[in-house]
Amino acid sequence: MLHVAEEMILSPHADGDEGAEGALRPKRLAEFIGQQRIKDQLNLLVSASKKRGHITDHILLAGPPGLGKTTLAHIVAQEIGAGLRLTSGPTLQRAGDVAAILSSITEGEILFIDEIHRMSRPAEEMLYLAMEDFRVDIIVGKGPGATAIPLALPRFTLIGATTRAGLLPSPLRDRFGFTAQLDFYEESELKEVLSRSAQLLGIDMQSAALSEIASRSRGTPRIANRLLRRVRDYGDVHGSGGALSCDDVRSALELYEIDERGLDRLDRSLLRAIIERFNGGPVGLTTMAMSVGEESETIESVCEPFLLRSGFLARSPRGRMATASAWKHLGLVPPPTLEIPLTFGD
């Protein structure tokens, strides 16, 4: 198992440090970096509903963790001038949990459900009705004598966030008027995120140092901001007092064993295991996870999306394979016969 600090630093999941994240969240659409098409679409959606005086359609935000889904929900609420209620799928397990939160909502408010794919089926069914007809049926009594008492709800906008849009049942997916699929960020966009964060945190960084962090941030703003905080720690302890340089970034991130492409020790062990123990693959997820002593879930949600995206790993119906870039990155010579299979999506 990995050391905790190391496990956290490149994880795209929130690490409970909401205070630090909250301070860096852009507040308006114009401040939100990248994802231009989604910003334009949301802008239109919000402006049109404001102009007509209607509530905004329900919105589904899909994409890997740390790309800005929660931030966008806050921004939409701010742009509309509506209140925002935050909850998450795992806390909505009984139909009554959904009824309780919906019955306390006020007209025009926004309900944000993070990890919406993790709601239970009965809770989802209660939500369908509320999304479509703005009512819930409260069941009174049990068995044949049970009666459904309809309860009208104020009109609200639901914003759902999911890392696994494929897991949402289609009746739920179909009830969203707008779905946005967030994508990983380009290095130039991450540099902008970092530049903004450094300014907000009062960290003096050379431009090349920002680029150096951006290239190691796995396309994810949450990771970029976290690495920036670690580099700041390094600067506070070892810095000369001037603007932090590329060398400072390299030394700081070397301590955490994060290499120039953003791979950490676990990523490299995984690639090495596929290459050395399984001759480059294909190998199944569980076997791959066991070979590095990690949970399959960690491999699937943290390592794999990044390794696939950066071309170190390929996925075929028979399992995962290390690509020629992976061999080269580890200083090994790929076999001349290495064939890269088609990669399949989620």
Active site residues: 69-70, 114, 163, 222
Number of residues that bind ligand ADP (CB under 6 A): 19
Token pair 């509903």 in the structure block, residue? 49
Contacts of 316 (CB under 8 A, 6+ apart): 282, 341, 342, 343, 344
DSSP states of 280-320: T--B-HHHHHHHTT--HHHIIIIIHHHHHHTTSEEEETTEE
The CA distance from 290 to 276, in Å, is 14
Judged by beta carbon, residue 258 or residue 288, the one nearer ligand ADP is 258
Q: How far is the CB of 197 from ligand ADP (least distance, A)?
A: 7
Contact 234, 17 (CB under 8 A): no
Q: Which is nearer to ligand ADP, 188 or 279 (CB)?
A: 188
> Nearest distance from residue 216's CB to ligand ADP, in Å?
16
Q: Say whether residue 160 binds ligand ADP (CB under 6 A).
A: no
Over the window 116 to 155, marking each residue x when it contacts ligand ADP by CB under 6 A and - when it does not, the resulting string is ----------------------------------------
Among 2, 7, 8, 25, binds ligand ADP (CB under 6 A): 25
Tokens 């030394």, residue?
A: 251
From 29-37, 104-112, 255-263, 264-272, give the range in contact with ligand ADP by CB under 6 A.
Answer: 29-37
| 84 close to 77: Cβ distance less than 8 angstroms | yes
**Spatial contact of 172 and 122, defined as CB atoms under 8 Å apart:** no
Tell me, what amino acid is at 222?
Answer: R
Q: Count of alpha carbons within 13 Å of 341, Cβ hemisphere only?
A: 17
The DSSP symbol for 145 reads G
Strand 157-162 to strand 59-62: parallel, antiparallel, or no bridges (unpaired)?
Answer: parallel
Among 58, 68, 159, 256, binds ligand ADP (CB under 6 A): 68
193 binds ligand ADP (CB under 6 A): yes
Among the candidate windows 49-57, 62-70, 93-101, 257-265, which touches ligand ADP by CB under 6 A? 62-70
Asked if 79 interacts with ligand ADP (CB under 6 A), we say: no
Q: Which is nearer to ligand ADP, 66 or 89 (CB)?
A: 66
Region 218-247 residues binding ligand ADP, contact defined as CB under 6 A: 221-222, 225
Contact between 34 and ligand ADP per CB under 6 A: yes
Positions touching ligand ADP (CB under 6 A) are: 21, 24-26, 32-34, 65-71, 161, 193, 221-222, 225
